Chain A
């Protein structure tokens, strides 16, 4: 072990390694600049400076308590009443961390799926129609159509098309999670934030969920928190490594997993962490 560590030590060159994106095919759609998050007096995120490429999947990895959820929830202002968030969150050139931003309108563009599948105690149909109805869509044909396309995009349509009026609470964990994705994409957001969406699912459901995310990439920019290294490696183009409230490394996923620049990242992805 010690020997091995010494060898990797020799290869690791930097303390912190965060790239800037330059891919013209996938321009930056969302970025954070000097983001700090405080729960009361306690600082939970010291600096999150990341850029997210449009129509790509970015994975956020790191040990428990490293601030991944804190960071992700700040992106669509879900931390508003819980924490103090300072710094800039630039979305298509607009700082959405300003007090005069209409967070409800913003969240329509930046959707979120949670760790624990959380369908409402309503029918499958009503779950998906919920956000549309809030926005005044009442036309039955239009609703039907959006419910269908959303369920198809979330790869759930075939399984539930005859049960649209049944309670969403009767779905299995994997189905419920895909329903939550369908519900989130029904309002056609730009960006989809997912916080460990597969952690409550079995391997088969997880695989299906990953396929769903890969197919959604064509329409949405996806940012996903995951504890599953293989998952990050399988589906993401970019990976950010969080540790103790800081982004220690951000680069392409292949770089992070094959040739990380920071020692701690290397320890973490190779399982020598702790």
Chain B
């Protein structure tokens, strides 16, 4: 009888290990809740501020998305404020898509070389170089763009040299390492036996790469490109330094333009909280946020489709 009670007490007593476990769970749960709170807070804040343009300043959403004049301090002939964000939206998309189009073939080519053609050199040289390039701060890219790319564009195409083309060049270099290393990961994930099967059927190495490896890696490669696009879309500093920052519809690749991010970084310090000028910038930020959500969604969809195959 007594020993049973003793055993029960022993078993029911919270041991030190059990207490530690509870603490561990508590700490990680707190961390998690904190992060969730921060994320929700940011989204909520940006959303409430961004919506204020339409609710308290009564700007028409369609005017905002399709208007071509951006000058939130001024009202137009109809007494409406000029908050047309189309030039920036177009600028952002143009620069993103162009840099992705230019970067993709280089990235996949490099990844193929690293992974299929010369894995030794790839691992020894390209891998560290890629990682180094990822780590360079964007202001450095912007500075190089300002002192090398802009003068070159000016010399080649005239004008000031600032514009979408210079921005594309800088972003191309910036997203290339990320897209390359993600593409290399995608190729590495293709099982070796696919390659062996193809070679054993008499396919050349190039045929194997082209018809088997790249096909099998397509979802991963697409993810890499979308990831690069997301990065290009969100890049602010380097783009702002070379694009010219004129909130005008880009009528050529070499005329000064702007993107959502560049208008935000140049403008946000010069406006008063709560004013229309300030709210309009928050609306741009909201567009940015929504777009990065869309990019994330695309990446997830591709990933799921890849897994289903």
A residues whose Cβ falls under 8 Å from a Cβ of B? 76, 78, 104-108, 111-112, 114, 116, 118-121, 130-131, 134-135, 167, 180, 183-184, 187
Contacts and interface: CB of A to CB of B under 8 A. Distances in A.
A104 B200 contact: no
Given A107-B202, A121-B194, A130-B203, 18 more contacts: A78-B196, A104-B204, A107-B199, A107-B200, A114-B196, A116-B193, A118-B193, A118-B197, A120-B198, A120-B216, A121-B215, A130-B198, A134-B201, A134-B202, A167-B309, A183-B197, A183-B201, A184-B201
B80 interface: no
Interface residues of B, number: 18
Given A121-B309, A134-B211, A114 B202 contact: no
Given A120-B212, A121-B216, A111 B197 contact: no
Interface string B211-245: 11001100000000000000000000000000000
Q: 8 shortest A-B CB distances, which residue pairs?
A: A112-B200, A131-B201, A118-B193, A107-B202, A108-B202, A118-B197, A104-B202, A104-B204
B207 interface: yes
A183 B215 CA distance: 19
Contacts of A76: 200
A130 B211 contact: yes
A183 B207 CA distance: 17
A112 B204 CA distance: 15
B199 A78 contact: yes
Given A121-B216, A121-B309, A130 B193 contact: no
A118 B193 CA distance: 6
| A contacts with B: majority SS | mixed
A131 B193 contact: no
Interface string B169-205: 0000000000000000000000101101111111110
Contact of B203 (A78, A114, A116, A131): A131
B201 A187 contact: yes
Interface of B: 191, 193-194, 196-204, 207, 211-212, 215-216, 309
Contact of B207 (A106, A121, A134): A134
Contact of A111 (B194, B200, B211, B216): B200
| B contacts with A: majority SS | helix
28 contacts: A76-B200, A78-B196, A104-B202, A104-B204, A105-B202, A107-B199, A107-B200, A107-B201, A114-B196, A114-B200, A118-B191, A118-B193, A118-B194, A120-B197, A120-B198, A121-B194, A121-B215, A130-B201, A130-B211, A131-B201, A131-B202, A131-B203, A134-B201, A134-B202, A134-B203, A167-B309, A180-B197, A184-B200
A272 B289 CA distance: 71
Given A120-B212, A121-B309, A134-B207, A114 B201 contact: no
Contacts of A130: 198, 201, 203, 211
Nearest to B216: A121
Contacts of A184: 200-201
Given A121-B309, A134-B211, A78 B200 contact: yes
A229 to B, nearest CB: 26
A133 to B, nearest CB: 8
A168 to B, nearest CB: 11
A262 B79 CA distance: 104
A77 B204 CA distance: 13
A111 B199 CA distance: 10
**Interface centre among B193, B204, B309, by most A CB within 10 Å?**
B193
Nearest to A131: B201
**Interface centre among A78, A134, A180, A183, by most B CB within 10 Å?**
A134
A105 B202 CA distance: 6
B191 to A, nearest CB: 8
A78 B203 CA distance: 12
B197 A114 contact: yes
A187 B201 CA distance: 8
Contacts of A105: 202
Contacts of B200: 76, 78, 107, 111-112, 114, 184
A114 B194 CA distance: 11
